[in-house]
Amino acid sequence: MTQIKDDLTMNILNLMRKKSKICRVIPNRDDLLLLLHGMSFFVGYEEAMFCNEFMFEVSQLLIKSIFLYEDGYYDCAYYSVRQAYELLNTMLYLVIEDSNVRLKWLKKDRFELNHRITQKLEQKLNAYKEVKDKLADYFDHLKELVQNANKIIHKQGYDTFYRVQVYYPQSYNYSLEKDVQLFTEFLKYTIGYYIIVYIIVDPISLALSDGEVTLKIHFDPLTEPAFYIDYFKNYLNKPDIIDKIKKTDFYTEFVTRFNDKEEMNPAVYSIIKDGYGI
């Protein structure tokens, strides 16, 4: 009798697992996973080295969002991407505020909500405001994607319900194809925001990837180069994003400190950057 009951329980559980899931396939998911796994962002200056833990966590949130989405936990996946976006804003906020604010965050005291944090970033962080102005279309669309994700996270509309999506999607105009498209776009734009924020925090990361500047940097900083500058062209068809950042005052003023430096030849560059010949 016990065996029959156990078998019945297992059958019910297996049926629940099978019927509660919809097959969701993210285009280029392997490429995105490898990209996120290989992102070795590292801030090298002492005052902001705490950002490295934040950026590692952002990578993990974005990686796990892909698996959550494919496993059927679509609302949790949207939430994970939104968490990554908000965590990047929190990180920037802690960079510009004094140690007391960071202590509040560490002690889990009452803390600013994301919309207040972004307002303060515009007020206090010139680099953020300038990049946001230069990339207005990008930031506006990302904001729209966050708002759309919030509808799903907060279950607004029957089409966001598990039961509806599995059993009678047509009754409430649920489209799996559109949902996959929305999630993929939200994920890709947030990855792009990740790269943008890294450059804002430590602009030498972009300078190290800038062919016109890197040969004039006569030391090997701890900061990792922003190797993923082709991301916007390859994944979002926005090849001008990096060029627009390079034209901001905050970046041009940063690289002027290297203008009077002699350009290294390839051999010297290899010795300094890679240690060859030592």
Q: Where are the domains of the chain?
A: 25-274
Q: What is the pLDDT of residue 245?
A: 95
Stretch among 26-40, 54-68, 162-176, 203-217 having the lowest mean pLDDT: 203-217
The pLDDT of 241-268, averaged and rounded, is 83
Position with higher pLDDT, 167 vs 185: 185
Q: Quote the pLDDT of residue 104.
A: 92
Predicted TM-score of the model (pTM) = 0.88
* Long-range contacts of residues 14-23, Cβ cutoff 8 Å, at least 24 apart: 19/166, 20/72, 20/162, 20/166, 21/71, 21/72, 21/166, 22/72, 22/165, 22/166, 22/176
- In terms of average pLDDT, the best of 193-197, 217-221, 268-272 is 193-197
- In tens, the pLDDT along 123-145 reads 999 999 999 999 999 999 999 99
- Percent of the chain topping pLDDT 90: 58
Q: Please tell me the distance from the alpha carbon of residue 237 to that of residue 244, in angstroms, as a whole number.
A: 14
| Per-residue pLDDT band at 20 (split at 50, 70, 90) | low
Structure-token pair, residue 11:
């059958």
Q: How confident is the model at residue 254 (pLDDT cuts 50, 70, 90)?
A: confident
Rank 51-55, 87-91, 256-260 by mean pLDDT and report only the highest: 87-91
Token look-up 């010949």 returns: 277
pLDDT at 278 over 50: no
- Kindly report, residue by residue over 183-214, the tens digit of the pLDDT: 999 999 999 999 999 999 998 888 888 877 77
User: Between 14 and 85, whose confidence is greater?
Assistant: 85
**Are 243 and 232 contacting, i.e. CB atoms less than 8 angstroms apart?**
no
Residue 130 token pair: 């300038």
Percentage of residues in the chain with pLDDT exceeding 70? Answer: 83
Mean pLDDT of 79-108: 93
Cβ-in-10-Å burial (0-12, 13-18, 19+) of 116 comes to exposed
Mean pLDDT of the chain: 86
More confident residue, 29 or 17: 29
Q: What's the average model confidence in pLDDT over 166-172? A: 88
Q: What is the pLDDT of residue 12?
A: 53
